[in-house]
Amino acid sequence: MVDVKLHDIGEGMTEGEVIHLFVKVGDQVKVDQPLVEVQTDKVTAELPSPAEGTVKEILVNRGDVIEVGSTMVVIDNGEEMLGETQKAEKKPANELRIDSLEKKKVFKLDHFDASAPKRILAAPHTRKLARMLQVNIEDIKGTGRLGRITDEDVERYANALKEQPADYDAAKQEAPAPVSEYHEMPFKGRRKAIANKMSQSLFTIPHVTHFDEADITQLLTLKNTLKTLDAKQTKGCNVSLAAFFIKAIANALQEFPIFNAKLDEEKQVIRMEKAVHIGLATDTEEGLIVPVIKHVEEKSMMTIHKEMKALIQKARDNKLRHEDMSGSTFTISNVGPLGSTGATPIINYPEVALMAFHKTKKMPVVNDNDEIVIRSMMNLSMTFDHRVADGGKAIAFTNRIIEQLENPELMLVNLK
């Protein structure tokens, strides 16, 4: 028998949601044949069969949220069953499979054995919340699928304890009747993972946001010139504004490596990365996701443009791989096309900075000759970790980026 378990397919993932089952009990499967499709906070992945054989058991259902290490499918690969003594000699105690039907009942909700330890269905985040609120999670009645305890169950129980006498048992009370005046959507999968990561970042990092503006009139002129040339030749040189933003940041990070860093609190060091890997905050139907362009400092503007477009399309088609979303050292958010005029973005933990590019407007500006001229002005917001850098550094870094955007010919010095 072979147990197919959910393994860690992302950076530090703890759980995943089953969104599709490719097989049923009794099916014959081959090695590497897809068995289950699981969605985590970052990717949707098909988990293949590690062995050839017959599907003996399926222990999950579509929609289940399961923890890393949980068995999803059991495959009979034709190997003879060993005796209990042989099993103990062949496998460590913590890897022994319980094959007795009576022993299996201990772990099934519909055949619960009162003499066995109570099995609690709750995500790690929910257990942590229970500890923070100082409530015993075993006393809580879960209202989720298969009796899973949710964050709302924990909070309801904790609030009830505060409002009722000491002998009040909130777990035995009837759950409030559903209200039909509103529509509910599941708070799980990618949406919940985004919430957890945002909370971790905001509660860990002392955020400071610096606002500024850039006159990108010359940059827009250059972009339009390239677009005109692109129409006259087959080679192509139409480059998006975001590619210029990314290149300007990469150049500035070479001069200010403190913002291309990660703080290791355990070792008490600030690790400044040599390579520049830019994360692209991308809005998709399923929520925010951050694909990564690697080694931006080594790439031309056209290469950056093409890779960016390909990654964003893969993100919207839900086809990103784990390696497409890992290793970022600095993140940008290009929200100008959506109409944003300003924001205080949350840093993509464990990075130390994030820059957002906002809406561009034509505005009257007084130039160096005291003349009023119409210029294309764009707002920027630079959010940084105040444990790692101070305001003076953040302003100098932002000024270096603005200098390149206002005088795009300066970027030619670092083109590769």
Q: Domain with 171 in it: what CATH number?
A: 4.10.320.10
Same domain, 259 and 391: yes
Q: Are residues 231 and 317 in the same domain?
A: yes
Q: Which of 18, 53, 79 is the last residue of a domain?
A: 79
Write the DSSP string, 236-283: -----HHHHHHHHHHHHHHH-GGGSEEEETTTTEEEE-SS--EEE-EE
Which residue type is seen at 380? L
What was the pLDDT predicted at 380?
96
Q: Which of 59, 79, 99 is the last residue of a domain?
A: 79
Give per-residue burial for 65-99: e unless 16+ CB within 10 Å, then b: bbebebebbbbeeeeeeeeeeeeeeeeeeeeeeee
Q: What is the CATH number of the domain that holds 53?
A: 2.40.50.100
| Residue 11: inside a domain | yes
Digit-by-digit pLDDT tens for the chain (416 residues) are: 888 888 766 555 677 888 788 888 999 988 888 888 887 766 677 788 888 999 988 998 887 888 888 888 999 887 754 444 444 444 444 443 434 333 333 333 344 344 444 556 777 667 778 888 888 888 888 887 667 788 888 888 888 887 665 555 554 555 555 555 777 777 777 777 778 888 889 889 999 999 999 999 999 999 988 887 766 664 657 889 999 999 999 999 999 999 999 999 889 999 999 999 999 999 887 788 899 999 999 999 899 999 999 999 998 888 888 889 899 999 999 998 888 889 999 999 999 999 999 999 999 999 989 999 999 999 999 999 999 999 999 999 999 999 999 999 888 766 65
Cβ-based neighbour number of residue 128 at 10 Å: 14
pLDDT at residue 221, rounded to an integer: 93
- Same-domain status, 342 and 289: yes
- Which residue, 23, 47, 79, sits at the end of a domain? 79
Tell me which residue of 154, 152, 123, 126 sits closest to 139, measured CA to CA: 154
- Would the CA dihedral through 293, 301, 334, 271 be positive or negative? positive
User: In whole angstroms, what is the distance from residue 95 CA to residue 109 CA?
Assistant: 22
Query: Considering Cα of 72, then 73, then 74, then 75, what sign does the dihedral take?
Result: negative
CB 246 within 8 A of CB 296: yes
Q: Are residues 133 and 35 in the same domain?
A: no
Q: How far is CA 403 from CA 148, 247, 248, 276, 410, in A?
A: 54, 13, 9, 20, 8
**Cis amide bond preceding 350, omega within 30:** yes
Q: How far is CA 388 from CA 200, 207, 243, in A?
A: 17, 11, 27
pLDDT on residue 80:
52
Specify the pLDDT at position 120: 67
Give the pLDDT confidence score for residue 114 in this predicted structure: 43
Same domain, 267 and 390: yes
Same domain, 153 and 216: no
- What is the structure's pLDDT at 307? 95
pLDDT at 112: 39
Q: What's the pLDDT at 415?
A: 60
pLDDT of amino acid 119: 57
What's the confidence (pLDDT) of residue 97?
41
Same domain membership, residue 170 and residue 213: no
Boundaries of domain holding 61? 2-79
Give the whole-angstrom CA distance, residue 55 versus residue 269. 50
Q: Has residue 201 been placed in a domain?
A: no
Q: Is residue 49 a part of any domain in this protein?
A: yes
**How is residue 178 written in tokens?**
């559903």
Q: Which residue is it, tokens 């609120």? A: 133
Per the CB < 8 A criterion, the answer to whether 340 and 358 are in contact is yes
219 and 169 belong to one structural domain: no
Q: Is residue 199 part of a domain?
A: no
- 114 contacts: CB under 8 Å, gap ≥ 6: none
Are residues 296 and 255 part of one domain?
yes
302 falls within a domain: yes
Q: Are residues 227 and 374 in the same domain?
A: yes
Do 153 and 224 fall into the same domain?
no
Question: The domain that contains 400 carries what CATH number?
Answer: 3.30.559.10
Q: How far apart are CA 260 and CA 252, in angstroms?
A: 10
State how far the Cα of 35 lies from the Cα of 32, in Å rounded to an integer: 9
The pLDDT value recorded for residue 230 is 63
pLDDT of residue 166: 54
The answer to whether residue 317 is domain-embedded is yes
Q: Bridge-partner residues for 16, per DSSP?
A: 66
Give me the number of domains the chain comprises.
3
Same domain, 358 and 225: yes
Active site (catalytic) residues: 386
> What are the structure tokens assigned to 35, written together?
């068995």
